[in-house]
Amino acid sequence: MWRKSILNRLDTTLILFELVLSVVFIVVGYLIDNNYIRGVGVGLVIAWVTSAIAYLYKKKMVKP
C-alpha cells in the first residue's frame, strides 16, 4: 500500500521537476543569449507535455 503511494507521488514530483527545469533552462538561455540552452529548455517542455499526457492517460485508465 505504501509503495503505491510513494510511486504516485514520485510520478507527480518528477513531472513537476521537469517543468521547473525546463523553465530554468529557457530563462537562463535568454539571459545569456544562448540558443543551445534555450533549445534544451524547449526539448524539456516537449518531454514534459508528453509525460503529463501519459500520466493523465494512465490515471484515466486506472479509474474507470
pLDDT in tens, 2-29: 566 666 678 788 888 999 999 999 999 9
Q: How far apart are CA 47 and CA 7, in angstroms?
A: 20
pLDDT above 90 as % of the chain: 50
Listed by start position, the domains of the chain span: 14-62
Q: How far apart are CA 26 and CA 36, in angstroms?
A: 10
pTM of the full structure = 0.75
